[in-house]
Amino acid sequence: MELIKAKNLYHSFDYPLFNGVDFKLHSSQSVAIVGKSGSGKSTLLHILSAFLAPKKGEVTILDQRIDELSSSQIDQMRRFELGMIFQFHHLFKGMKAIENIEIATILSNSTVDMALLEKLEIASLMNQKTSELSGGQQQRVSIARVLSKKPKIIFADEPTGNLDKETANLVMNVLKDYVQKENAGLVVVTHDKDVAKICDKIFVLENQSLKEITSI
């Protein structure tokens, strides 16, 4: 199943970032996007995830043209179908770890997946306040919060940027297992070559173009 189809994307700020970009993501597939800082990787991710409209081109997510949807329809899609993982965790610091995760499940009408917490090695931390957790633990709680709402597509912007190599591998393996189990899709923007290699496909954004590469 085709989860995302983007055609002829163009975007710029003070200068052109990319032009003529095509992209597809299928169910049970993970894709990494790499490139130099300033190449437009995060901007492209925001366009593919319906957070930003391209200057030109079109994006179809789950068979729906984004430019034909209302703001409320896009909000509903983000709430139930899409998950965003950032480099910084954005947790509610006054709350316990479990409360942070429960917020997402309440909003998406899902339940906390205890097996997922075990896989991320954070099940024993649930009653601690997020301010008591290490940076790596907080990041894994934020990832659990996203996956607990059972999104159909996960977008991750440098999700392992603040993690050590062992924890980064753990997180990526959990994400890939989720994608396979749920027939979901994953798009990762990363500078980490080892993270990119874990994905099924790797694309590089350079010279204003997106191209698939076979090695990195």
* Whole-number Cα distances in Å, 110 to 70, 113, 186: 24, 9, 20
DSSP for 17-29 reads EEEEEEEEEETTE
- Architecture per CATH, domain 29-35+72-213, reads as 3-Layer(aba) Sandwich (3.40)
pLDDT score of 174 more than 90? yes
Tens-digit pLDDT profile for residues 80-122: 999 999 877 678 888 999 999 998 888 778 888 899 999 999 9
Is the pLDDT score of 139 beyond 70?
Answer: yes
Tell whether pTM > 0.85. Answer: yes
pLDDT digits (tens, 9 = 90+) for 40-55: 999 999 999 999 999 9
Q: Hey, where are the domains in the chain? A: 29-35+72-213
- The predicted structure's pLDDT at residue 89: 67
Interval 52-80: pLDDT, tens:
999 999 999 999 999 999 999 999 999 89
In one letter, which amino acid is 98?
Answer: I
Spatial contact of 14 and 170, defined as CB atoms under 8 Å apart: no
Q: What's the confidence (pLDDT) of residue 106?
A: 86
